Structure 1
Amino acid sequence: MRIIALLCLTFLFGCSPDSSNSESKRTPEDVSLGFFNAIYVDRDVNKALQFVDDPMKKVLAHYHIAASVQRHVLNLSMTEVQMEIEEIDIDFFRKFTDDVTVIVKMQGLKGGEPWIDDRTIRLHKKGTKWEIIEILPEKGNLH
């Protein structure tokens, strides 16, 4: 009888929902789009901080406002931005890699004129959470 009770308890606890928060379940795509959405759409640097590692948090906090982050960190000031994942260097074996590179394609207005550009970022998996660790220098625009 004890064995049955023990098995039932093990089953119940084994099926309980994961106690970790939703941040740890974000994919590299979610983190990338969340970061750019915070900077370009919501224009909220504090919201963007949840997507980056500690050294990048210091850089973003230094600039205080989204317009400054766009100008000085991303080298791209835009409005009315729409984003999509252009490319990600990750595949089926996602669970076995800790570093990925994501290219985010952005369409919007730059200086009032239509503009298409992309930004490449590098993410690192820290535990179960993906964080942006670097914004790579741009290779050129797609204007």
Structure 2
Amino acid sequence: MKGIQTPEQVSLGFFNAIYVDRSIDKALQYVDEPMQQVLQHYYIASAVQRHVLNLSMTDVTLEIEEIDIDFFRKFTKDITVIVKLFGLKDGQKWIDDRTIRLHKVDNRWVIVEILPEKGNLN
């Protein structure tokens, strides 16, 4: 990793590692130590999709839906980011999102939590 990554870059990097590259090893660089242990416990990306993110998908593309950072507070150390996932779930087109919390640790952003789903409002 070169330079300081933004929370958006860290968020997309993590989800890209899990859903596109399907690599736990790549995902580990974006999370803190307790989350690294959780990811390593599941060994493979499909298990992380199922058990940690509660969302198994293929052919995924990603975008940032929302980020709750106040740009006037440069010293914020805790933010949440919502990542929108587009792809296939059980062979059907699917769009979903996941909210993650990041902390700034030693001048770099790391994912510390995947927040519980709010549930569909349909």
Aligned counterpart in structure 2 of residue 57 of structure 1, from 17, 21, 36: 36
Counterpart check, 1:87 vs 2:70: no
Q: CA RMSD for the aligned pairs?
A: 1.5
- In the alignment, does 2:76 pair up with 1:97? yes
Mapped contact 1:103–1:120 kept (Cα < 8 A): yes
Residue identity opposite 1:93 in structure 2: F
Q: Deviations over 1:20-63 (max 9, x none)?
A: x62x5100000000000000000000000000000000000000
Question: Is the CA contact (8 Å cut-off) linking 1:43 and 1:67 kept in structure 2?
Answer: yes
Aligned AA (2:99): T
Match of 1:132 among 103, 108, 111: 111
Tell which has more relative contact order, 1 or 2 (C-alpha 8 A, sep 6+): 2
Matches within 5 A, 1:1-143: 22=2, 25-93=4-72, 95-141=74-120
Give, in whole Å, the separation in 2 of the partners of 1:93 and 1:40. 33
Q: After the TM superposition, which parts of structure 1 deviate over 6 Å for at least 4 consecutive aligned residues? A: none
1:100-136 deviations in Å (ceiling 9; x for gaps): 0000000100000000000000000002100000000
For this pair of structures, how many residues does the alignment match? 122
Superposed CA deviations along residues 72-122 of structure 1, whole A, max 9, x for unmatched, are 000000000010000000132352100000000001000000000000000
Gaps of 5+ in 2: none
> Which runs of 5 or more residues in structure 1 are unaligned?
1-20
Give the Cα–Cα distance (whole angstroms) in 1 for the partners of residues 44 and 120 of structure 2: 24
Amino acid at match of 2:70: D
Larger Rg: 1
Tell me the TM-score normalized by structure 1: 0.81
Q: Which has the higher strand share?
A: 2
